[in-house]
Structure 1
Amino acid sequence: MKTEITRWLARDPDPKTREELQHLINSNSEQELQERFSGRLAFGTAGLRGIVGAGPNRMNRLVIQETAMGLGKYLLATEQDAAERGVIIGFDGRPDSKRFAHETASALAAQGIKVYMTTHEAPTPMVAFGVKHFEAAAGVVVTASHNPPAYNGFKVYWGNGAQIIPPHDSGIAAQIDIATKQDIELLDLEEAKQQGLLFWLSESFYNTYRQTMKNNKLLSNHTQPDGISLAYTAMHGVGANMAEGMLADAGFTKVYSVAEQRDPDGSFPTVNFPNPEEPGAMDMVIAEAKKHNATLACANDPDADRFAVAVRTEQGEYQMLTGDQVGTLFGHYLLTHAEPGQNLVGATIVSSSLLEKVAKSVDANYYQTLTGFKWLTNVAMQQQTDESRFLFAYEEALGYTVGSEVWDKDGLSALVAFAQLTAELAANGKTIWDQLEAIYREHGLYLNAQKSIALQPGSPPIGDLLRQNPPETIAGRQVVVTDDLKISQKIYADGKAEAIDLPASDVLIYHLDDDARVVVRPSGTEPKLKCYYEVVEAMSHEDTLEHAQQRAETAMEDLINRHQSSLAG
């Protein structure tokens, strides 16, 4: 390890991280040094993400330079015109993001690759949009999205505008490994500009994204936008200017931004965890909504690719919608507003099954993928045809894409679409709650929950055990079909099997006789299990939404408790 540390100190261009590392050496912080040098931040389908600090297992300038060098080498080796097509780069508001983005640009330009660089912080979906707009070979966003302040990340898009998937992830990773053993070549940004290798993307590019969204037919439902009001927070991220501008373009005049959270601040001073799903993260925007008696309390996460919303109830309180509820509402709304032939919608294996039911009821096409937006958009491109063009996809973790202007989740266009959906309902004397109830009455009330289960240390891999002894019942319900994604087979209770068209993944999905579902994702490294549960409660004409909800919650509690007990036993 001593040799590695010495070599790292010699290569590290940043006096700040060199000093940090030297301090750890001087104080004999063996455990900390071991953790930082035991491996390297793994480059995967989401690129890189990790804590900022010194060493190969942290985010820092040297790791960024080596990563950018590896990305450039891979692009030049696999894409014939990569240098001319170039790479678009953007960054969020975290303290190191701009510097990391500039280091990336220097490393790519040194290889003769053209770079389009945003002049200031940019929403992640805007960069994804830019890949297609410039017909670039790739895109990079320096962002840790909704992770805590100590983190940063390096997110990569391929030339199709979607996040990278195999084999590109492993191909780039292999080139990064080679780059760690080579001298780093960098080109000064001013020099790159003079050589015609660097193009700064100023306000006109930001306006191009905004204008494109304004012209998006799926965001052109201008039904009485003055009829609703909404509070908004950028959660100390990069979304405010664009969100406010796009809402204004769509005619929404009653928009109230949370001033304390409006501007980028990577220390996230007013939230414990800058993720709208976390308890307390929406408190300030809900308080702002209450102050104005607003219809909606809306949030983007710090890089503006996710969208969250709380809706005012009859009692004047605000209740947050789940990602599945928003996804279902979007699917229903867009499928009834899209042009003929634009009817392909998708969700992930752990998202609610309700979108599929809604799609089938209007003869639309539905597809399903593994978790992760990289799959939702890449598969959509493969699945769509002239007769069935892509319309919408979502994942339950608050990610939505409306139309194909951006081949990734886009919290900004989702914000506008949801406001328009709400305004149209209001113009017809209805609320979001009325619409959800109408969908539930037609298709059933779908309730989804996720629970991580810790198993006994030292116990055998749970996935293997479940495959050796397949459960015939779960919580008193018959298992009618098991999807085993490790072997890509759908296995029926009578033993019949058919192929599943999904990449192999260590996931088991149990479909039960009352339409309930249990998804099990075993951990390969620790005795832990991620479980996703779904229950379906039919609603009669006499039923109230409240009573059906109570029944669903009781059924969910029973399913979770009994399933967990069976695994622990």
Structure 2
Amino acid sequence: MSDLRARAELWLAQDPDPATRDELRAILGADDEKALADRFGARLEFGTAGLRGELGAGPNRMNRVTVMRAAAGLAACLPRGGRVIVGFDARHGSRRFADDTAAVLAGAGLRPEVFAEPVPTPVLAHFTRAFDDVVAGVMVTASHNPPRDNGYKVYWGDGAQIVPPQDTEISAAIDAVGRVDELPLGDGWPVHRDTELYLDAVASLRLGDARDISVVYTPMHGVGRDVLLQAFERAGFPAPLVVPEQADPDPDFPTVAFPNPEEPGALDLALALAAERGADLVIANDPDADRCSVAVPTPDGWRALTGDEVGGLLAEHVLRHTSGGDRLVATTIVSSSLLADIAAAHGVRFAESLTGFKWIMKAARPGDRLVFGYEEALGHSVGDDRGVLVNDKDGVGAALAVAALAAEAKRDGRTLLDLLDDQAERYGPHATAQLSVRVEDLSLISGAMARLRAAPPTELAGRAVVASDDLALGEGGLPPTDGLRFRLEGGARIVVRPSGTEPKLKCYLEVVLPAGTARTRAAADLEALKAAIATALGL
């Protein structure tokens, strides 16, 4: 307790934030050992996803001290005089964290520039790669996490998220930072008010000429609305109808349990409005607008498409509107294997990466031109003959491409569901699903992974397990990662891994059946596999 108290008092002495100072004084005054241990017994680890965690005092929380230390560590790894672009979302503390970052970077001899207002993450990522003198970008966001969280994402000068060894170098530099109240600080950095660069690029995507489509859109209380509406207008689409209850940025996300389009209930307001207005399509962004969710009407009500379904449709859309033998499409080891079949049919190269867009963007070999990348968690980067326009997930560009594809199908008297049926006929049904287990105690996740490693299942839902791969060993030439992959007879596959951004254990399931097999059979097989792996996890 005395050691924790000493650390807390040292933190208190350098903390510039009155709110977290009051929080810490109250904890110290109450001799709350549990609260001190929670905040000072560990620290947020800086990795390839940057930082993400709950707001509050101490090194195990997101706060001004944590952010200033991160900025100082980043500055130590960048060339003096380099230009750094800083963006932020509308979460609690984001604007303050962005200004603190700029002050530290300026004090370290860099040239920070900060967006004047909250912006979508893909705007920041696109801007970072657009200029040769930009050496890095910082986006203050926790994306689709709960309201109590915030985060800090770092991009390198190519506009892609950092990968090893950049993360470990920055982390070591953060560890070497002293007191933040002794850091030199700058002021007077340039402020951006312009998203034109991004809008010009995304609105010029090759989208075909069909535009008759009615869309209900929700930004999920985030920052995507204004940019998406401008992009739709520039590209010639009718203005989407925005869900009024979720239209304005609100860091408390009051209408959803979790501001993630994948979570049950998150799309309810949008689906209800779409049903009332007879819309053709529902499109949702997560709060920082790097993800895109899609729902379509069916005779039995509205259905949200999976990220893999949207990924397969967008892949063929992009490949129909591009040319050249140097084209590359890429996805992750937890996404559907359908993209490999699509690539083969179109005569282009396919690559598979670790989970996360930072790895998708590193999948190209010399001479490759990445025109499309996606991951099953609703992340897509859409390109044309120039290649992808954003070296990260782009929920606005994906929304435009989905609207174009749906308008084209509508003109032909068809729907996106018909296009999915076409793909099932050509390539066989590739049905995917995810099982996510959210926990309060992270040791439950490590325990489940340890049990599966020690005693891998030999059979799941009546299918023999024909191969078990421990991804921590670096399977298939990929960097090591904490995950397990089980290949089952009949073309089924399950990948189990801890989430990198949330307290969840995730299982990714796929069933592949021969061409001509009904998609309903694949869905039934998926449900059986989901039940079997849930039992095997023991959670």
Distance, in Å, in 2 between the alignment partners of 1:462 and 1:319 is 32
What SS does the corresponding residue of 1:235 show, helix, strand or coil? coil
Number of the residue aligned with 2:428: 444
The one-letter code of the counterpart of 1:93 is A
Distance, in Å, in 2 between the alignment partners of 1:279 and 1:130 is 33
Distance, in Å, in 2 between the alignment partners of 1:70 and 1:23 is 30
Number of the residue aligned with 1:201: 192
Number of the residue aligned with 1:50: 53
Number of the residue aligned with 2:229: 244
Q: How does 1:16-415 map to 2 (within 5 A)?
A: 16-75=19-78, 82-135=79-132, 136-181=134-179, 184-190=182-188, 198-203=189-194, 206-215=195-204, 219-225=205-211, 227-314=212-299, 317-341=301-325, 343-380=327-364, 383=365, 385=367, 388-403=368-383, 404-415=388-399
**Contact persistence 2:92–2:150 (CA under 8 A):** no
Query: Taking structure 1 as reference, are residues 291 and 31 closer, same or farther at Cα in structure 2, changes over 3 Å only?
Result: same
Distance, in Å, in 2 between the alignment partners of 1:522 and 1:111 is 36
1:561 paired with 2:519, answer no
**Contact persistence 2:452–2:537 (CA under 8 A):** no
Distance, in Å, in 2 between the alignment partners of 1:50 and 1:179 is 20
* Alignment RMSD (CA, Å): 2.6
- Shift of residue 566, structure 1, vs aligned partner: 5.5
The one-letter code of the counterpart of 1:536 is V
- Shift of residue 484, structure 1, vs aligned partner: 3.6
Summarize deviations over 1:430-450 as a string: whole Å, max 9, x none.
110100001011111111122
The one-letter code of the counterpart of 1:126 is V
Distance, in Å, in 1 between the alignment partners of 2:499 and 2:158 is 31
- Shift of residue 463, structure 1, vs aligned partner: 5.6
1:536 paired with 2:536, answer no
Distance, in Å, in 2 between the alignment partners of 1:522 and 1:139 is 27
What SS does the corresponding residue of 1:172 show, helix, strand or coil? helix
List gaps (5 residues or longer) in structure 2. Answer: none
What SS does the corresponding residue of 1:84 show, helix, strand or coil? coil
TM-score where L is the length of structure 2: 0.91
What SS does the corresponding residue of 1:169 show, helix, strand or coil? helix
- Shift of residue 469, structure 1, vs aligned partner: 5.9
Distance, in Å, in 2 between the alignment partners of 1:290 and 1:212 is 33
TM-score where L is the length of structure 1: 0.87
List gaps (5 residues or longer) in structure 1. Answer: 76-81, 191-197, 490-499
The one-letter code of the counterpart of 1:513 is E
- Shift of residue 176, structure 1, vs aligned partner: 0.8
Summarize deviations over 1:342-392 as a string: whole Å, max 9, x none.
521111111111111111122221111111111111223xx251xx41111
What SS does the corresponding residue of 2:251 show, helix, strand or coil? coil
Number of the residue aligned with 1:487: 473
Larger of the two Rg values belongs to structure: 1
- Shift of residue 110, structure 1, vs aligned partner: 0.2
Distance, in Å, in 2 between the alignment partners of 1:325 and 1:511 is 21
The one-letter code of the counterpart of 1:281 is A
